[in-house]
Structure 1
Amino acid sequence: MQSIRGMHDILPEEMKYWQYIYDKVFHTLDSANYQEIRTPIVESKSLFERSIGQDTDIINKEMYTLMDQGNRELTLRPEGTAGLARAIIQHKLCENSTMQKLWYLGPMFRYERPQKGRQRQFHQLGLECYGNNHPAIDAEVISLANNILADLGCNKLSIEINSIGSNHERAIYEQKLKEYLIKYINDLDNEYGQKIIRNPLRILDSKNPQIHKIVENAPRITNYLDIESKNHFEEVQEYLSILDVPFNLNHNLVRGLDYYNNTVFEIKTQLLGSQDTVCGGGRYNNLTQQLGGQQIDAIGWGIGLERLLILMQKNIILDKQVNCIYIATPNLVHVEYSLRILKLIKPHHLKYELDVSGSSLKKQLQKANRKNTMILIIVGEEEVRQQTVTIKWLNLHLQQTCSLTSFSSLIPKITLEYQNLLKHNQKYSAKQYPLVDISQKSSDNGAVE
């Protein structure tokens, strides 16, 4: 049996990077007073049809839709914003002009051709701010995305911004754009011809080099903005400069979903080839109204985790985590005594491994070293007979023997040392001094004296 094409297992060695991202994101967004939210991965199909737009590739080609036993059309979510907007309406999270600052991380599903950085089950980190239309919020939201990517070791990034105006302004612009593009309709295939007729804005975000040449001299949407939209966009640029966020204007940037208005932006990299967009987002002030609720101003962005991981691992290599205690029990008749030691350790939440493989002490010592263990506890016949514990400080080539009572009182000091090592993500080394007096030494080959 194999996993479904485009849907990959995340193996234990990879999970440490996912957890690293989660911890960094949580710290940054918690500081900015954003709260995590989790919505279902399955929603009503109509939710996405009403929000994303009928003339998008997502709706027409990419959604995973099923009929449940109640004859309801359900869809595996292809993106996170529609479901969050539904939650805002359903739970009345913005009642009484309450502002909601939310973020999420989870799997999304689109039927696309799998390639590096793009899978059919992919994961998205998203941020959404509801309840305020001030351009300073736009700048802060873009700044937070930039800060997160920088903290995760992503470099050679560029931020592109544009304004696509209100629905009314965009309708005027779309007509002008269609009049310009219709002259080239016979030079393009049927798919692009249909886009020119039905949704000409989709032409602007095409990756096709032929299209790029055609739209070079196309009308610019910023020329059709009214004074309010122009002022909003100018203030966004001013606030980005104050926050020291570099950006470029891209007059052809429109984003691929129909719910956007006014500010849109993308953060791109030079390191991923054609899949160059790492983060994308913008305003969608009318989305909740499209879905049957009250109009609530909103802005947000999404970052694809698979692409982020590729970038991050170019610059950040995570060390193997330190294992605190390895309990070696060469003779399985002594397992009961090992469990008594384990019971002393557990309340302190130390990372441990209990070896009941029955292999020799030498092999268990080798396994402990491979797991980057701080101390090895040896349970042998002598320890059981005398009710003691033998502690071997690995990499120091030092060991000591103490009573169970003394070991119990020593655990808080071991915990402190372990927390210090985790904080600095170090391997335990001879540069560290033991927190206890060492009564015995082991031989250089690791055998217990």
Structure 2
Amino acid sequence: MTGTPSEPAQAAASGDATAQKAFRTPIGTHDLAPPESDRWVALMGAFIGLADRAGFGYLQTPIFEDIGVFARIGEGTDVVGKEMYEFFDRSDRHLALRPECTASVCRAFAQHRPTTPWKIWYQGPFFRYEAPQAGRYRQFHQIGAETLGTDDADADVEIIALAADFFAALGLAQVPLVLNSMGDADTRAAYGEALSVYLQRRVGDVDSEDRDKIERHPLRILDSKREATAAVAAEAPQITDFLSPTTAAHFERVREGLDALGVSHEVDPKLVRGLDYYTRTTFEFRAASLDAAQDTICGGGRYNGLVEALGGPPTPGIGFALGIERLLLACDAEGVFEVPTQRAEVWVVDIAGGAAARDLTHDLRSVGIRADRAFDDRSMRAQMRAADRSGAEIALIVGPDEAGAGTVTVRPLRRPDGGSTDEPQRTVARTDLLGTLRTVFDALNAAAGDTDGSHSSGLD
């Protein structure tokens, strides 16, 4: 197909950059780049280590599914009714970008029928069309864990303890756990009826923004942040008064287990969670350091019945999801889990043509050392500035004299804790470099009080 080029195309062809549109990220999204992305990688590593030790394997599901998968989370919820990104593809299939992952996990279980208990964790982007604010994006990111195939209350304890251990590993101390039970389907139905009757009597006292929920999804009234609605909710019937003996015993076992593991918690009868699939245990971790409107950094619960709704056999499940963006806001508020400042342990400074830097960085990386270099034949001064900015603990210097003699000058720059060092520089043969680095790292670690040898482990 031929025709007259558009103005942007003509501008691109002529190299006229000023005529081109300056594209930016869509509203409610953001780019993730170093050094903040290093923090995300470290956060993921901390979670993966805990999940792996607890026997959880990684599950990755598509970022879009048949819209029916997510319709099961609640037709009356804002997530389904107002916030989902849905579309028809070129074959006229009705699809949606995933707004959460539990429904996808249950769809995967129903499809593949794995051996139970099936313990998995996941991570990735999710999508909801809502007003962006601090810690809330239209494309946001979550980590979660799920256990399917057991109704044992101890599985609830294990899931909740995994989240609590993760927060502790990040250094968070102000994340209280609140807990409740939704009972079974009969409990929820009886409670929903009693709550609706109560709310109909108090409809005039409910904030006008929440009144439509009384008919559509009355349980959503209970977690409204609006002052008038919250006052009405405070006097509402409590779901714990509707629990059957079986569900009450299950809830008590969960509480006993958390106490045994030292996971402090409090019961909040108004905690019902917004999605329709929750049964029995529900819980939230709330960051006391954040504003109340955005303080929930992790939420979850049991969802017995969701797998059947997606075509699978009767299968109980329990899990949680936590938002990475909001979690990091809580870390910032508490001053913990800061952005890593070091990307290299060793920086190679080469003023003899660059070949030594090319070869040395490759050799050091092959034995597990984080090594980097400058490019473009920069001056000694410029390369040393780059070494300092990198946070590297050691500079390896190769000038014309070292290149001719087959040697390297090893110059300690700082201790692993970032403090200054009095370690002298030394010139050694290339063949003796790794042994020398081991000695220098040991001395720097000792001076910094790092006796576990956590730095330069590739030399061990």
| Equivalence map 1:434-449=2 (5 Å) | none
Alignment partners' CA distance in 2, 1:150 and 1:113? 31
Match among 56, 61, 70 for residue 82 of structure 2: 61
Match among 85, 90, 99 for residue 78 of structure 1: 99
Alignment partners' CA distance in 1, 2:233 and 2:360? 72
1:303 and 1:419, CA in 2 relative to 1: closer, same or farther beyond 3 A? farther
Query: Which residue number in structure 1 is paired with residue 335 of structure 2?
Result: 315
1:65 and 1:381, CA in 2 relative to 1: closer, same or farther beyond 3 A? same
* Deviation of the 1:363 alpha carbon: 2.1
Pair 1:140 & 2:158 matched: yes
Structure 2 residue runs of 5 or longer lacking an equivalent are 1-22, 414-420, 456-460
Alignment partners' CA distance in 1, 2:132 and 2:212? 25
Q: 1:321, 1:425 within 8 Å by CA — same for their partners in 2?
A: no
Q: 1:28, 1:148 within 8 Å by CA — same for their partners in 2?
A: yes
| Equivalence map 1:29-428=2 (5 Å) | 29-50=51-72, 52-94=73-115, 98-188=116-206, 192-273=210-291, 274-313=293-332, 314-316=334-336, 317-321=338-342, 323-330=344-351, 334-394=353-413, 395-396=421-422, 398-403=424-429, 407-411=430-434, 414=437
Alignment partners' CA distance in 2, 1:359 and 1:147? 47
* Deviation of the 1:63 alpha carbon: 0.9
TM-score normalised by structure 1 residue count: 0.86
SS at match of 1:157: coil
Q: CA RMSD in A?
A: 2.5
Query: Which residue number in structure 1 is paired with residue 41 of structure 2?
Result: 19
Structure 1 residue runs of 5 or longer lacking an equivalent are 433-449
SS at match of 1:389: strand
1:156 and 1:344, CA in 2 relative to 1: closer, same or farther beyond 3 A? closer
Query: Which residue number in structure 2 is paired with residue 435 of structure 1?
Result: none
The residue type equivalent to 1:41 in the other structure is: I
1:225 and 1:339, CA in 2 relative to 1: closer, same or farther beyond 3 A? closer
SS at match of 1:93: coil
1:16 and 1:342, CA in 2 relative to 1: closer, same or farther beyond 3 A? closer
Alignment partners' CA distance in 1, 2:443 and 2:162? 29
Alignment partners' CA distance in 1, 2:34 and 2:380? 27
1:426 and 1:83, CA in 2 relative to 1: closer, same or farther beyond 3 A? farther
- Greater alpha carbon shift after TM alignment, 309-318 vs 34-43: 309-318
Alignment partners' CA distance in 1, 2:67 and 2:435? 54
* Deviation of the 1:306 alpha carbon: 0.9
Q: 1:322, 1:421 within 8 Å by CA — same for their partners in 2?
A: no
The residue type equivalent to 2:428 in the other structure is: C
SS at match of 2:319: strand
1:380 and 1:5, CA in 2 relative to 1: closer, same or farther beyond 3 A? same
Q: 1:164, 1:222 within 8 Å by CA — same for their partners in 2?
A: yes
1:363 and 1:7, CA in 2 relative to 1: closer, same or farther beyond 3 A? same
Q: 2:205, 2:229 within 8 Å by CA — same for their partners in 1?
A: no
Query: How many residue pairs are counted as aligned between the two chains?
Result: 419
SS at match of 2:236: coil
Alignment partners' CA distance in 1, 2:122 and 2:439? 33
* Deviation of the 1:370 alpha carbon: 2.0
1:285 and 1:408, CA in 2 relative to 1: closer, same or farther beyond 3 A? farther
* Deviation of the 1:220 alpha carbon: 1.5
Q: 2:175, 2:288 within 8 Å by CA — same for their partners in 1?
A: yes
After superposition, what is the alpha-carbon deviation per residue over 1:60-104, rounded to whole angstroms, capped at 9, x for unaligned?
11111122111112211111111111111111113xxx2111111
* Deviation of the 1:396 alpha carbon: 4.2
Alignment partners' CA distance in 2, 1:85 and 1:368? 49
1:101 and 1:382, CA in 2 relative to 1: closer, same or farther beyond 3 A? same
* Deviation of the 1:408 alpha carbon: 3.0
Q: 1:160, 1:249 within 8 Å by CA — same for their partners in 2?
A: yes
Alignment partners' CA distance in 1, 2:32 and 2:442? 27
Query: Which residue number in structure 1 is paired with residue 30 of structure 2?
Result: 8
* Deviation of the 1:318 alpha carbon: 4.8
